[in-house]
Amino acid sequence: MALKPATQLAVAGGTPVRSTFLPYGHQDIREEDIAAVVSVLRSEWLTTGPTVEEFETGFAAEVGARHAVSYSSGTAALHGAMFAVGIGAGDEVVTSPLSFCATANCVLYQGGLPVFADVEPGTLNLSPERAAAAITSRTRVLLPVDYAGQPAALDAFRRLAEKHDLIVIEDACHALGAEFGGREVGGISHMTVFSFHPVKHIATGEGGMVTTDDEGFARRLRAFRNHGIESDARRRQAAGEWHYEMTELGYNYRLTDIACALGLSQLARLPANLTRRREIARRYQSSLAGLPGLRLLQVGNDVKPAWHLFPVLLDLPRLRAGRAEIFRALRAENIGVNVHYIPVHLHPYYRKRFGDQLGKYPAAEAAYESLLSLPMFHAMTDSDVSDVVAAIEKVLLHYAGK
């Protein structure tokens, strides 16, 4: 039997570039993380105890914010931020359609209306010009997303907010550790929201955080995650007080001490994690730049992305296959590519509730048709990165030329 050429696609029966599957993201749990969790399990406080405060204090210091308020997920944290500004019926929040659906859902939770504005085709971040055009007398909040970990045009959004008396809530679920104009994401916008889902930079299982410099927002954020009750259990116990008052309708969105122990332990490795992600991004950029059939995201001069994801755009007019076929071919090579995101306005729920908006945000929709996220997590080895590059080259070469 003739040997199969190395260039034959695995999807067509050839040998895959890798023998094991490489996911697009993965948590990094070490013995020290496990020991930290175990020590909380042996302690008095499983939730709303000292480790929550320790994690919040450490996190606030890490991102250069005055306050950090933990939540049970990034989604709950977004909800809390919407509550803190008092979003309610009739209020509009301008945001990006190219995000995880939670970004817009949090507005709906509060009875507000998410208003989408298109993204910039180069960075896939919310366009300040498109956002400005979407502002009405009912707009209260600008909600940019730091797509893939590259900060949005935060200075432009801040100026817009000042001009129209709005609040900027930044969805930085991709961007822990990113920098904008030399400043750390988390201390720039009025409120900044993070997620600790296992694929994000640090993992607590489920978990999230809102950072802010504003004392009033911080107080409302703390009450909202605890049923709308003003003082927490530990302080009451310390003061020997039984009295508490529920002054607003809140939820139980608390993060446990167990989760915070994991977060605190992971936070210590964030700088190393970021260094590695940036190294992987540089390798991808230098190996993939100029490859026919592929475009990389543009990166601004004034930003340092945190690279939660590494999305690339297929140059479909130059390829003989669509994204779905190329996606399947790469998966068959054992490269765990993914797609971020199906634009939020195209989800059935949004279509049903707000009508068919197909064609309304052409840059986001065009990006969606051609996006692929390459594996990106800090435990990836150089040889993993080389495998991804080899598989991309193999598959794109196969489908090159139209």
Ligand X SMILES: *Cc1c(COP(=O)(O)O)cnc(C)c1O
Residues catalogued as catalytic? 200
Q: Is 74 in the site for ligand X (CB under 6 A)?
A: yes
Bridge partners, residue 183, by sequence: 180
Q: Is 75 in the site for ligand X (CB under 6 A)?
A: yes
* Minimum gap (Å) between residue 42 Cβ and ligand X: 27
Q: Is 171 in the site for ligand X (CB under 6 A)?
A: yes
The residue count of the chain comes to 402
Taking CB under 6 A as the rule, which mask of x and - marks residues 102-131 in contact with ligand X?
xx----------------------------
Q: Is 25 in the site for ligand X (CB under 6 A)?
A: no
* Minimum gap (Å) between residue 7 Cβ and ligand X: 36
Distance (Å, rounded) from C-alpha 385 to C-alpha 387?
Answer: 5
Total residues contacting ligand X by CB under 6 A comes to 14
CA angle 262, 267, 270 (to 5 degrees): 135
Structural contact between residues 361 and 352, judged by C-beta atoms closer than 8 angstroms: no
Q: Is 145 in the site for ligand X (CB under 6 A)?
A: yes
Residue 16 or 144 having the CB closest to ligand X: 144
Residue 9 or 75 having the CB closest to ligand X: 75
Among 130, 174, 201, 220, binds ligand X (CB under 6 A): 174
Bridge partners, residue 372, by sequence: 312
Residues 184-203 that bind ligand X (CB under 6 A): 195, 197
Among 27, 51, 70, 99, binds ligand X (CB under 6 A): 99
Residue 293 or 375 having the CB closest to ligand X: 375
Helices (H), 86-232: 102-109, 128-134, 154-164, 215-224
Residues 328-347 that bind ligand X (CB under 6 A): none
Contacts 24+ apart (CB under 8 A), 190-194: 190/161, 190/214, 190/217, 191/81, 191/84, 191/85, 191/167, 191/217, 191/221, 192/63, 192/65, 193/74, 193/77, 193/78, 193/81, 193/169, 194/74, 194/77
Residue 71 or 399 having the CB closest to ligand X: 71
Structural contact between residues 312 and 288, judged by C-beta atoms closer than 8 angstroms: yes
Structural contact between residues 128 and 147, judged by C-beta atoms closer than 8 angstroms: no
Q: Is 364 in the site for ligand X (CB under 6 A)?
A: no
Binding residues (CB under 6 A) for ligand X: these are 73-75, 99-100, 102-103, 145, 171, 173-174, 195, 197, 208
